[in-house]
């Protein structure tokens, strides 16, 4: 029954395809289905095509999701697998995030070419990253470093490092774990000093609202604790109207029925930072995140946000 094959849309990078395969494996296990019940459909996005400038300058949100969402609305795919940190807070009409998988390691790692630790790099050393958050966090710790653009998927960036384009780079440990290469990290960053992107380490599944076949299928693999943490983090991000390409960091942690959230916003040069910490009941996840966002906004003032432009 070819028409019943569930089509899973994803970007084409090795990491994205590994994430889609993980979702397929979980759906197979949850529903006792064979691999042939699913097809992984690779879709190229604007974010994948832009290699010559930082994504923060490419304009617009959802650079990694737009083409995939169009395919879902057209019925070419049935569900899409994304990294939560690449997901805008507002989705197109008719689509929703229907599940989160259990979160992987949330931490960033430093990968040094010949020096293992960020703090041991010589004065003025070159560090490559295309993330404004990582740029700002690095400059806060090491204002002397020469932080430059480093685009491309994980493999491309590692090749550039080998070629000596930079002395080091930073990546998410979750991605390295999923690619089976955590050993290339030379330093795991402490999330207190170097907080992750909102949503980091969590795979999410997007689908059509009200899809009677796909909706319940996906609900079976939802991880509630991760879902609640992400509700809080995405509410914080929504209140700041940001995306993963602005210098915002933060993390929600859940213990039992309690949720603790801490968030941080920085100027791109890392010189000015504002922090917020809050805690409350897990059932109030969205309110806690939204209030933290409103509060940090007020703390920082409009001049701070103007400096991002
Ligand atoms: N923006 C690219 C991206 N989106 C998600 C991850 C890592 C995996 C994750 O956070 O779940 C990465 C690569 C990186 O930052 O190292």
Q: What is the pLDDT of residues 138-195, one digit of tens each?
A: 999 999 999 988 877 788 888 999 999 999 999 999 999 999 999 999 999 999 999 9
Other C-beta atoms lying within 10 Å of the C-beta of residue 211 = 18
**Tally of CB atoms within 10 A around 138:** 23
pLDDT tier at 2 (50, 70, 90 boundaries)?
very low
**Residue 244 pLDDT:** 43
Whole-number Å distance, alpha carbon 275 to ligand 1 midpoint, is 23
pLDDT grade, residue 51 (50/70/90)?
low
Judging by DSSP bridges, how do beta strands 146-148 and 187-188 pair with one another?
unpaired
- Torsion angle of the four alpha carbons 69, 44, 200, 115, in this order, in degrees rounded to the nearest 10: -170
Question: Among 3.40.50.360, 1.10.3720.10, 3.90.550.10, 3.40.190.10, what is the CATH number of 1-103+201-222?
Answer: 3.40.190.10
Q: Is the CB of residue 201 below 6 angstroms from any atom belonging to ligand 1?
A: yes
Query: Three-class SS string for the chain?
Result: CHHHCEEEEECCCHHHHHHHHHHHHHHHHHHCCCHHHEEEEECCCHHHHCCCCCHHHHCCCCCCCHHHHHHHHCCCCCEEEEEHHHCCCCCCCCEEEEEECCCCCCCEEEEECCCCCHHHCCCCCEEECCCHHHHHHHHHHCCCCEEECCCCCHHHHHHHHHCCCCCEEEEEHHHHHHCCCHHHCCEECCCCCCCCCCCCCCEEEEEECCCCCHHHHHHCCCCHHHHHHHHHHHHHHHHHCCCCCCCEEEEEEEECCEEEEEEEEECCCCCCEEEEEEEEEHHHHHHHHHHHHHHHHHHHHHHHHHCCC
Q: Is the CB of 169 under 6 A from ligand 1?
A: no
> What would the mean pLDDT of 22-46 be, rounded to a whole number?
96
What pLDDT, on the 0 to 100 scale, is given for residue 17?
97
- CB of 166 closer than 6 A to ligand 1? no
Mutate to test the pocket of ligand 1, among 19, 175, 233 (most ligand atoms within 8 A of CB): 175
Residue 108 Cβ inside 6 Å of ligand 1? The answer reads no
Q: Which of 78, 86, 108, 211 is catalytic?
A: 86
For the ranges 37-41, 111-115, 299-303, the lowest mean pLDDT is seen at 299-303
| pLDDT tens column, 171-185 | 999 999 999 999 999
pLDDT in tens, 248-262: 999 999 999 999 999
Inform me whether the pLDDT recorded for 58 exceeds 70: no
Cα 4 to middle of ligand 1, angstroms: 31
Answer whether residue 52 shows pLDDT above 50: yes
Expressed in angstroms and rounded, the spacing between residue 233 Cα and the centre of ligand 1 is 16
Cα(197) to centroid of ligand 1, in Å? 9
Atom of ligand 1 nearest to the CA of 203: 11
pLDDT: which is higher, 64 or 216? 216
Q: Which CATH architecture has domain 224-309?
A: 2-Layer Sandwich (3.30)
Q: Can you give the pLDDT at residue 243? A: 43
Worst-scoring range by mean pLDDT, 40-44, 48-52, 86-90, 270-274?
48-52
Q: Which residue has the tokens 């000015």?
A: 272
Q: Which atom, in ligand 1's list, is nearest to the CA of 108?
A: 16
Q: Which residues contact 189 (CB under 8 A, 6 or more apart)?
A: 107, 108, 109, 110, 118, 170
Q: Is 48 a catalytic residue?
A: no
Provide mean pLDDT across the span 54-58: 63
User: Who contacts 27 (Cβ-Cβ below 8 Å, separation ≥6)?
Assistant: 6, 33, 38, 217, 218, 220, 221
**For the chain, what are the domain ranges?**
1-103+201-222, 108-188, 224-309
Nearest of 214, 232, 295, 241 to residue 88 by alpha carbon: 241
**Fold agreement between 1-103+201-222 and 108-188:** yes
For a pocket test of ligand 1, which of 17, 23, 45, 85 has the largest count of ligand atoms closer than 8 A to its C-beta? 85
- Indicate the burial class of 117 (C-beta count within 10 angstroms; 0-12, 13-18, 19 or more): exposed
Spatial CA neighbour of 176 closest among 147, 201, 145, 204: 201
Distance of CA 52 to the CA centre of its chain: 21
Strands 146-148 and 258-266: unpaired
Q: Is the pLDDT of residue 231 over 70?
A: yes
% residues pLDDT > 70 (the chain): 93
Alpha carbon of 200 to ligand 1 centroid (Å): 7
Q: What's the pLDDT at 1?
A: 45
* Residue 32 in this model has a pLDDT that exceeds 70: yes
Distance 194 CA to ligand 1 centre (A): 15
Ligand 1 atom showing the smallest separation from residue 201 Cα: 11
Ligand 1 contact, 200 CB (< 6 A): yes
Q: Say if residue 240's pLDDT is above 70.
A: yes
Residue 172 tokens read as 């998410």
Site to substitute for ligand 1 among 81, 102, 132, 174, most atoms within 8 A of C-beta? 174
Does domain 108-188 fall under CATH 3.90.1070.10? My reply is no
């Amino acid at each position: 029954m070819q028409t019943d094959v569930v089509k899973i849309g994803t970007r084409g990078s090795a990491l994205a395809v590994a994430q889609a395969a993980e979702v397929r494996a979980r759906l197979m296990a949850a529903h006792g289905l064979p691999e042939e019940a699913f097809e992984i459909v690779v879709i190229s996005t604007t974010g994948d095509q832009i290699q010559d400038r930082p994504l923060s300058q490419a304009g617009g949100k959802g650079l990694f999701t737009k083409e995939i969402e169009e395919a879902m609305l057209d019925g070419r795919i049935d569900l899409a697998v994304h990294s939560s940190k690449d997901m805008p807070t507002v989705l197109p009409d008719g689509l929703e995030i229907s599940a989160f998988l259990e979160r992987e390691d949330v931490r960033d790692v430093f990968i040094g070419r010949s020096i293992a630790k960020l703090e041991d790099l010589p004065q003025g050393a070159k560090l490559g990253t295309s993330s404004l958050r990582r740029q700002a966090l690095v400059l806060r710790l090491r204002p002397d470093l020469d932080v430059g653009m480093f685009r491309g998927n994980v493999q491309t960036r590692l090749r550039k490092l080998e070629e000596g384009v930079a002395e080091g780079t930073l990546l998410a440990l979750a991605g390295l774990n999923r690619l089976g290469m955590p050993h290339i990290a030379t330093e795991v960053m402490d999330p207190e000093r170097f907080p992750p992107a909102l949503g980091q380490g969590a795979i999410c599944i997007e689908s059509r609202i009200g899809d009677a076949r796909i909706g319940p299928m996906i609900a079976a693999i939802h991880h509630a604790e991760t879902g609640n943490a992400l509700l809080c983090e995405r509410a914080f991000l929504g209140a700041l109207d940001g995306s993963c390409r602005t210098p915002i960091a933060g993390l929600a942690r859940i213990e039992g029925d309690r949720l603790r959230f801490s968030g941080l916003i920085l100027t791109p040069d890392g010189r000015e930072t504002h922090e917020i910490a809050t805690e409350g009941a897990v059932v109030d996840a969205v309110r806690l995140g939204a209030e933290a966002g409103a509060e940090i906004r007020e703390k920082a003032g409009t001049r701070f946000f103007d400096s991002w432009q």
